[in-house]
Amino acid sequence: MKVCFISPRFGNTIFIFYYVYFLILLFYNYYKIWLKRGCEKVRILVTGGCGYIGSHTVVELIRNGYDVVIVDDFSNSKPVVLDRIKEITGKSVTFYEGDVCNKDILRKIFHENKIDAVIHFAGYKAVGESVEKPLMYFRNNIDSTLSLLEVMTEFSVKKLVFSSSATVYGNPRSLPIKEDSNLSVTNPYGRTKLYIEGILNDVYVSDNSWSIAILRYFNPVGADSTYLIGEEPNGIPNNLMPYIVKVATGELDHLNVFGNDYNTHDGTGARDYIHVTDLALGHIKALLYIDKQPVLDYFNLGRGECFTVLDMVSSFEKYNNVKIPYQIKDRRKGDIDSCYADVSYAKEKLDWEAYLGLEDMVTSSYKYAVNEKNRV
């Protein structure tokens, strides 16, 4: 019987062959994983994504290459917004209809989608209404945030951009307002935002693997450059610009100006107005910021200048060539004289600043309204 054996040289050759083959296979598999991850889009859950600011942010997210999931209950928005988002971007978004207070719907969303970060808009937002219905505001705004944070924790998603408000500054002691200015609210809506900021601070202190950006908005106005989405609240508007627009389009007879005895140049309240597109882009900058490292930080998003109610009326008339009749009424509870931001910290840390001016704000608002009226 012949005995076959492999020479040491040949055996080494086979070993080297299989070793190299194994390395090639290993690196190939790693390459496929890397390639897959590189091609995967970052997926953002946007609560209240059909609302005014939410829908504009969704559009800018898609324009910047993000994948978007929306949850909204249409309490202050309309289903047609989803069609408009698709018309603007050419892409459909994953949508869930539901209340963010409902943890079951949130669990379903996180189970069915790999969520990388959350932008939290969902909540009631009218100052005047909050004074009349404070319990409704506390229940909705705070409960929805607690439910969201609990489900995010369950699914180990710890990146959040929160929609706060300049109302947390109350009646400011000095202007412009910086992020470290005194916090003091004058209405229940602002108090819900301040409470939520405190909750987020406590969450981060308890677990500093979270990464949270709190954006304190001033007064968003305007519409997307396509004029397909804009501010169109259900019922009588609580904010100035949609109220002016409804007068301009003939839906309302006149504008009610609440108070003319404020400490401003014409006696009407003055605010820092920011174009909603600039504001939406601020959220993308915030997402990039919180993706770098665990952090909790606060940012003012505004233009750093203020205009009174009558300034806004005058500008609207000038740039849109339309008259806005108005009547002076008593002050509303909870309103303050003036409010405008110091935005230098957002510029430094987020590399963000507002570019669109007053003309863009008032003309885009009106063109959106006219466009909507012509569609009917």
Residue 195 lies in a domain: yes
Residue 334 lies in a domain: yes
Residue 189: active-site member:
yes
Residue 22 lies in a domain: no
CA 260, CA 296: separation in Å to the nearest integer? 39
Residue 326 lies in a domain: yes
Number of structural domains the chain divides into: 1
Question: Mean pLDDT, to the nearest integer, of 40-63?
Answer: 96
Q: Which two tokens stand for residue 52?
A: 């005014």
Q: Which two tokens stand for residue 169?
A: 């500054």
The Cα-based distances of 362 to 55, 228, 269, 311 in angstroms read: 19, 15, 18, 11
Is the model more confident about 35 or about 211? 211
Residue 15 lies in a domain: no
Residue 7 lies in a domain: no
Residue 159 lies in a domain: yes
CATH for 324? 3.40.50.720
pLDDT tens-digit map of 223-242: 999 999 999 876 677 789 99
Residue 29 lies in a domain: no
* Strand extents, DSSP E, 263-374: 270-271, 273-275, 295-301, 307-308, 326-329, 338-339
Q: Select which of 66, 137, 189, 217 is catalytic.
A: 189
pLDDT tens-digit map of 328-360: 999 987 788 999 999 999 999 999 999 999 999
CA 228, CA 369: separation in Å to the nearest integer? 9
Domain that includes residue 45, residue range: 36-375
Mean pLDDT rounded to a whole number for the chain: 90
